[in-house]
Amino acid sequence: MSTVAEKIEIPRKKLTVEFLVGIFVIIGCLCFAYLAINIARMRLIQTNIYQLTAQFDNISGLTVGAGVEIAGVSIGEVSAIKLSKTNALVTMDINNDVVIRDDDIAAVRTKGIIGEKFVKIIPGGSDTHIKNGDSISDTESTVEFEEIIGKFIHRME
């Protein structure tokens, strides 16, 4: 004698088109989020950097995300730019494995003749290191070609 429960078969659900489309959409969204984060250079966890600031008279063309280099090697990037009275206050995220000294010079330079701006750190000779949140006191502002040409033209007159 068999019971009613033994006679009822539970039908197995097959993978439907709707289920497969849902999986495809979820994977697509995850891929899009990954690309958006990487293209925007966003860091979700910032554990291997420290921040330094520097004040410049003129940073014309320097933007957030611009590189910070020593000897042509990238060591970080510009994370913020603010106006501090009449100067530009630039905040830089520097890799933890890089040591910046208190007499190093931060200079705004251009890659090539009309390339993008970046911050170049010119090494000094001190043994004292700058810590997280400190400021680089020696800076060189960007040189604008319009100013140079203007001075040259006015000298000729």
- Residue-wise pLDDT tens digits, 7-37: 666 666 667 888 889 999 999 999 998 888 7
Over range 79-94, report the average pLDDT.
Answer: 92
The answer to whether residue 54 scores a pLDDT higher than 80 is: yes
Tell me, yes or no, whether 96 lies in a domain.
yes
Per residue in 106-150, pLDDT (tens digit) is 999 988 777 889 999 999 888 888 989 899 988 988 777 677 787
Share of the chain above pLDDT 70, in %: 85
What is the model's pLDDT at position 41? 62
The answer to whether residue 5 scores a pLDDT higher than 60 is: no
What is the model's pLDDT at position 15? 73
Tell me, yes or no, whether 155 lies in a domain.
no
Tell me, yes or no, whether 8 lies in a domain.
no
Tell me, yes or no, whether 22 lies in a domain.
no
Q: Considering the chain, what is the average pLDDT of its residues?
A: 84
Tell me, yes or no, whether 16 lies in a domain.
no
Tell me, yes or no, whether 24 lies in a domain.
no
What is the model's pLDDT at position 148? 75
What is the model's pLDDT at position 4? 56
Number of domains in the chain: 1
Give the residue numbers spanning the domain of 71.
49-149
Tell me, yes or no, whether 108 lies in a domain.
yes
Instruction: Concatenate the DSSP letters of all residues of the chain into one string.
Output: ---HHHHPPPPPPPPPHHHHHHHHHHHHHHHHHHHHHHHTT--S---SEEEEEEEES--TT--TT-EEEETTEEEEEEEEEEEETTEEEEEEEEETT---BTT-EEEEEESTTT--EEEEEEP---SPBPPTT-EE-EEEPPPPHHHHHHHHHHHH-
Tell me, yes or no, whether 17 lies in a domain.
no
pTM here is: 0.66
